[in-house]
Amino acid sequence: MASGTAVEKPTGQPTTMKRQCGVIQVQHPLVKHHVTRLRNKDTRPSEFRNLVRRLSALMAYEATKDLLVKPHAVETPLTDAEGSQVIGRIGLVPILRAGLGMVDPVLDLLPMAEVWHLGLYRDEDTAQPVHYYDKLPAKRPVDVALIVDPMLATGGSVAAALMTLRDWGVPQVKVLSLIAAQEGVDMVAAEFPEAQIYVCQIDPELNDRKFIVPGLGDAGDRIFNTVAN
């Protein structure tokens, strides 16, 4: 390392989370590193998708720390051993379209999860969420739902998803967003105090088009390579 280089001392041990009223910011050197690459305007879609996957897995690891388990015996090649098994139905709820980029890495950790898609886009003029797809069953809600969407800007889309899951009757809901604006997380935390909101990064403001600043642009466009369209 070059002499004189400023080094940020790791703050992540033993806890890797910073909590504030239902908002949990994942604190980890790898998260900071990958968020920095994610923000870079020169990061191409293929690398952007990989970064979304890595950050989603790191966040899902933190967000699943309180899942319930029951004892589950296992027979190893040598003998019997005590083990554990996650209990309860877990639902993964991606907000289309950008949330799709987070599904596979979270499903890798939770292969037993059900996936329930919600279609929401933000009207470009009003910045209000518009519902366009929802096939949630009327009955039998999952026990724990993880809403995944890389961006939480005004918070309108996540709030609409949380309302839908509240109506479905889901008892425990977690939101996983890679990057959020302070006013968006504040609004969602105030309106849905029962939800746990996991983020990698909270940025200070929204611009006049309601984009997160400094942010990373439009995650959906960068994941799906539609920036120029």
How far is Cα 117 from Cα 123, in angstroms, rounded to an integer?
Answer: 19
Interface pick for ligand PRP out of 92, 113, 147, 153 (rule CB under 6 A): 153
Interface pick for ligand PRP out of 184, 192, 215, 222 (rule CB under 6 A): 184
Tell the smallest beta-carbon distance from residue 127 to ligand PRP (Å).
6
Verify binding: residue 157, ligand PRP, rule CB under 6 A. Answer: yes
How far is Cα 98 from Cα 118, in angstroms, rounded to an integer?
Answer: 11
Verify binding: residue 51, ligand PRP, rule CB under 6 A. Answer: no
When the beta carbons of 105 and 220 are compared against ligand PRP, the nearer one is 220
Q: How many helical (H) and strand (E) elements, i.e. helices and strands, does the chain have?
A: 6, 16
Q: Of 2-10, 86-94, 95-103, 105-113, which segment contacts ligand PRP by CB under 6 A?
A: 95-103
Q: Of 7-15, 31-39, 76-84, 92-100, which segment contacts ligand PRP by CB under 6 A?
A: 92-100
When the beta carbons of 61 and 121 are compared against ligand PRP, the nearer one is 121
How far is Cα 135 from Cα 119, in angstroms, rounded to an integer?
Answer: 9
Tell the smallest beta-carbon distance from residue 38 to ligand PRP (Å).
13
- The residue nearest ligand PRP at its CB is 220
Tell the smallest beta-carbon distance from residue 136 to ligand PRP (Å).
17
Interface pick for ligand PRP out of 105, 141, 155, 215 (rule CB under 6 A): 155
Number of residues counted as binding ligand PRP (CB under 6 A): 22
Nearest residue to 178 (alpha-carbon basis) of 16, 49, 8: 49
Verify binding: residue 149, ligand PRP, rule CB under 6 A. Answer: yes
Contact 193, 187 (CB under 8 A): no
The helix or strand, by DSSP H or E, that contains position 69, with its residue range, turns out to be strand 69-71
Contact 117, 169 (CB under 8 A): no
Task: Pull the structure tokens for residue 127.
Answer: 């910045």
Angle at 24 between CA 22 and CA 28, to 5 degrees: 175
Task: Pull the structure tokens for residue 156.
Answer: 């309108």
Verify binding: residue 97, ligand PRP, rule CB under 6 A. Answer: yes
Task: Pull the structure tokens for residue 224.
Answer: 């799906």
The helix or strand, by DSSP H or E, that contains position 198, with its residue range, turns out to be strand 196-203
Residues that bind ligand PRP (CB under 6 A): 95, 97-98, 120-122, 127, 129, 149-157, 184, 210, 218-220
